[in-house]
Amino acid sequence: MSTHRLAVRKLLGGPELTPADLTMTFLVRDDDESPGGRPMPTFSVAELPEAVRALDDLGVRSGKLFAGSRIRDDRASQADSPTGLMSRAIRAIKKARPAFTVITENCLCSHALSGECWLADLRGGIDLDESREVIATQALTHAEAGADIVGPASMIPGSVKLVRDALDAAGHQGVLLMPHLIFDSGLYEGYRTTMEASPASGTRSFQLDPRQPEEAIRTAFAFVDEGADAILLEPALFTVDTLVALKGILPVPVMPFSVSGEYSRLTERRTDGTLDVGPLAESYTVLKRSGAKRIITYAAREITEILTP
């Protein structure tokens, strides 16, 4: 009888979480850098092709890339380098699996000496114009390397439009935009430590106050008006209410990003060295039923392996 009941549950249940629902997060390091001492898993450029082929074979069709600069200065001068770490990572993936969708993070925090998402003016304030210009040229560099989707992450007003205009002017109309809609949270520290992207000011100036979801709705619509094709929402599990609200009114898909703090708190390393991702996978079912188009995660491979035993 219990077997029949399980069969009925499967028959009547909603859509299940599948590998194609997941987008893998890649924190990229240089080939000569050690992976040790970092709270989050990283990949060298040389390791990316094998990792992508394995994911693609399992049914995960996309990856979100984060990469910084070894040389950093006050102007984030290496952020738009065509030979930088991000460009090399994009090319390595596209050479291995051309159809694998590459999504980039488009920001200054891992390239500026300050760790901020913006550049300072002569008085130490935020230079909005220069910050937007560098972000736009950085996005263009990603597109030239082969990125399918760029992700403006600074949330600087007007930056999404400037990126769209730069891409269109250079003939990259087919490259999509997925800006980050970010709530201020303590769940980003694992990422910031790994990528050495902690802001000198102690805070991200343009991130949203989690007590004001209405501002998130207004910002999401502003992004769409500026040319966004999708919205990345983070942290995933603490913004489910906003995901549900946006799903009903926004004309583009919403993709929650399950951030480093969620990964570290909802996984556990077993004694044999494997990673127990059961609770994390369970939480993604919540995201999918709440309207997530895709879920961006550090644990795409481990979750896929339990979805497809």
| Domain assignment of residue 276, yes or no | yes
Q: Is residue 10 part of a domain?
A: no
In a domain, 139, yes or no: yes
- In-domain check, residue 31: yes
Per-residue pLDDT, averaged over 225-230, amounts to 98
What are 116's two structure tokens?
């901020």
Binding residues: 107, 109, 117
The total of structural domains in the chain comes to 1
Q: What is the mean pLDDT of residues 138-162?
A: 98
- Band the pLDDT of 3: cuts 50, 70, 90: low
Question: Residue 207 belongs to a domain with what CATH number?
Answer: 3.20.20.70
**What is the span of the domain harbouring residue 164?**
15-307
Is residue 59 in a domain? yes
Count Cβ atoms below 10 Å from residue 177 Cβ, excluding itself: 24
Q: For the segment 160-200, what is each residue's pLDDT rounded down to a tens digit?
A: 999 999 999 999 999 999 999 999 999 999 999 999 999 99
For 190-209, write each residue's pLDDT tens digit.
999 999 999 998 888 899 99
List, as residue ranges, the binding site for Zn(2+): 107, 109, 117
Which residues does residue 62 pair with via DSSP β-bridges, in sequence order? Answer: 101
Q: pTM for this structure?
A: 0.94
Residue 211 lies in a domain: yes
Reported confidence tier of residue 72, pLDDT bands at 50, 70, 90? very high
| Share of residues in the chain with pLDDT > 90 (%) | 90
Residue whose tokens read 């924190």: 27
Domain membership flag for residue 2: no
pLDDT at res. 244: 97
Residue 1 lies in a domain: no
pLDDT digits (tens, 9 = 90+) for 39-64: 999 999 999 999 999 999 999 999 99
Question: So what's the pLDDT on residue 1?
Answer: 46
Q: What is the pLDDT of residue 308?
A: 72
pLDDT (average), residues 59-85 = 97
pLDDT surpassing 90 at residue 15:
no
